[in-house]
């Protein structure tokens, strides 16, 4: 089973700042099979990015994804107060999906 390790565990930034979230996989995966979600308290997760860099429906362009091999990144270019959430990466390999442990983003 592929393990996803996200870093940092948490970060606290001000509105308008840039957030860079990392997701490292224990084995090389296809860029087609890496996705990002965020989850706000009391809500279900919401898909942000799939296939490493494709924004999901209605996701603003301040969210972008990149990476390949074992290293993937979610960047939020200009943080807004509503971006406060836990962010999860997810991968698919050999008919199994796994999630990272999450990065908590706090907006000051």
Q: Residues interacting with another protein, by CB under 8 A?
A: 1, 32-33, 35, 37, 39, 44-47, 49-51, 56-57, 86, 88, 90, 92, 95-102
Closer residue to another protein, CB minimum distance, 42 or 81: 42
Q: Tokens for 8?
A: 């940092």
Closer residue to another protein, CB minimum distance, 73 or 99: 99
How wide is the angle at C-alpha 84 spanned by C-alphas 93 and 108, nearest 5°?
Answer: 140
Q: How far apart are CA 58 and CA 73, in angstroms?
A: 20
Closer residue to another protein, CB minimum distance, 16 or 51: 51
Quote the least distance from Cβ 35 to another protein, whole Å.
Answer: 4
In what helix (H) or strand (E) does residue 5 lie, and over which residues does it extend? strand 4-7
Q: How far apart are CA 57 and CA 52, in angstroms?
A: 15
54: left (phi over 0), alpha (psi -120 to 50) or beta: beta
Quote the least distance from Cβ 77 to another protein, whole Å.
Answer: 21
Quote the least distance from Cβ 16 to another protein, whole Å.
Answer: 28
Closer residue to another protein, CB minimum distance, 50 or 73: 50
């Amino acid at each position: 089973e592929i393990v996803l390790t996200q870093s940092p565990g948490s970060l606290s930034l001000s509105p308008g700042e840039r957030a860079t979230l990392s997701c490292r996989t224990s084995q090389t995966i296809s860029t087609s099979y890496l996705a990002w979600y965020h989850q706000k308290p009391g809500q279900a997760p919401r898909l942000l990015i799939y296939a490493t860099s494709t924004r999901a429906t209605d996701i603003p362009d301040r969210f972008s994804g990149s990476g390949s091999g074992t290293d993937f990144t979610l960047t939020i270019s200009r943080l807004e107060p509503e971006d406060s959430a836990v962010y999860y990466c997810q991968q698919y390999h050999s008919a199994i999906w796994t999630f990272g442990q999450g990065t908590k983003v706090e907006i000051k």
